[in-house]
Structure 1
């Protein structure tokens, strides 16, 4: 009696051993790997920030970089100068982002 119950409960046997690693692979390919790539690109961007660049912070403040240190950035805005951490810089504004190209 117990052997029939075990056989019914076991079902796929080898199929379960293949399914779990396949699910882990899908999770890695679609969730973990893109997030790691995004974090790497963001870290590279923050390291390459230059003085005079127009940027947007993560809180949405637009400004121009006036001074740089190893871990901080001073941004000049319409209200004055504000000091931020480098990690607070979200993106750089440039002409290619500001206006779409119109072909005539």
Structure 2
């Protein structure tokens, strides 16, 4: 009986720290990753996007794993992999 209570005292705080670590760090990160993946999968033609490198543009074409965006008034077109899209640009940014 004493061995099991000693193990509980020894490993109890470690298990508690792992549970707290999961709820404070891992779970919110997974939630954010799922939101970003959902945003990338729901990009449609005409959306204004910002890449992870800071390039802003309007989506002209959406394929399975990449999009074509048009930047600035010079009508430069870029093929961007979907994983490179950082966020959708809001209308307030313009």
TM-score, with length taken from structure 1: 0.77
Structure-1 separation of matches of 2:49 and 2:58: 6
**Unmatched tracts of structure 2, length 5 or more:** none
Structure-2 separation of matches of 1:17 and 1:90: 41
Among 77, 85, 98, the alignment partner of 2:93 is 98
Structure-2 separation of matches of 1:98 and 1:59: 17
Matched, 1:83 2:83: no
TM-score, with length taken from structure 2: 0.84
- What's the counterpart of residue 3 of structure 1? none
Structure-1 separation of matches of 2:81 and 2:87: 14
Aligned with 2:77: secondary structure?
strand
Which structure has more relative contact order (CA 8 Å, sep 6+)? It is 2
- What's the counterpart of residue 60 of structure 2? 66
Aligned with 1:65: secondary structure?
strand
Counterparts of 1:1-104 in structure 2, within 5 Å, are 13=6, 14-78=8-72, 79=74, 80-95=76-91, 97-98=92-93
**Unmatched tracts of structure 1, length 5 or more:** 1-11, 100-104
Say which one has the larger Rg: 1
